[in-house]
C-alpha cells in the first residue's frame, strides 16, 4: 500500500473537490464536503480496496489523510 494511491482513493470520495487539491497533509475533516456520510464512504472504500475494517474511532483519531493511512497500514 502506498500513500499516493491511498490519497487518490480518499480524494475520490469527495465529489465537489478537485482531487489535485487533496494531499496526504490535508485535514480532511476541515473540507466543506466532510460529513458522516463521507466517513462511511471512507470505511467502505478502505474495506473494499485494502481489506481493512476501520471503525468510527479510527476516523476520529485521524486528522490528516496521512494519519488515516498510518492507521490502515497498522491493521
| pLDDT tens figures, 8-37 | 888 888 888 888 889 999 999 998 889 888
Rounded to whole angstroms, the Cα distance separating 23 from 4 reads 8
The dihedral sign for the CA sequence 41, 42, 43, 45: positive
Rounded to whole angstroms, the Cα distance separating 8 from 51 reads 17
Which band of pLDDT confidence, cut at 50, 70 and 90, is reported for residue 53? very high
- Phi and psi at 64, nearest 5°, equal -105, 170
Which CA distances in Å does 43 have to 2, 14, 35, 48?
Answer: 18, 14, 13, 9
Amino acid at each position: 500500500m502506498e500513500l499516493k494511491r491511498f490519497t487518490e482513493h480518499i480524494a475520490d470520495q469527495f465529489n465537489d473537490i478537485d482531487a489535485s487539491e487533496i494531499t496526504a497533509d490535508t485535514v480532511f475533516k476541515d473540507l466543506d464536503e466532510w460529513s458522516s456520510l463521507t466517513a462511511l464512504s471512507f470505511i467502505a472504500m478502505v474495506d473494499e480496496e485494502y481489506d481493512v475494517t476501520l471503525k468510527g474511532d479510527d476516523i476520529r483519531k485521524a486528522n490528516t489523510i496521512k494519519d488515516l493511512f498510518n492507521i490502515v497500514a497498522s491493521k
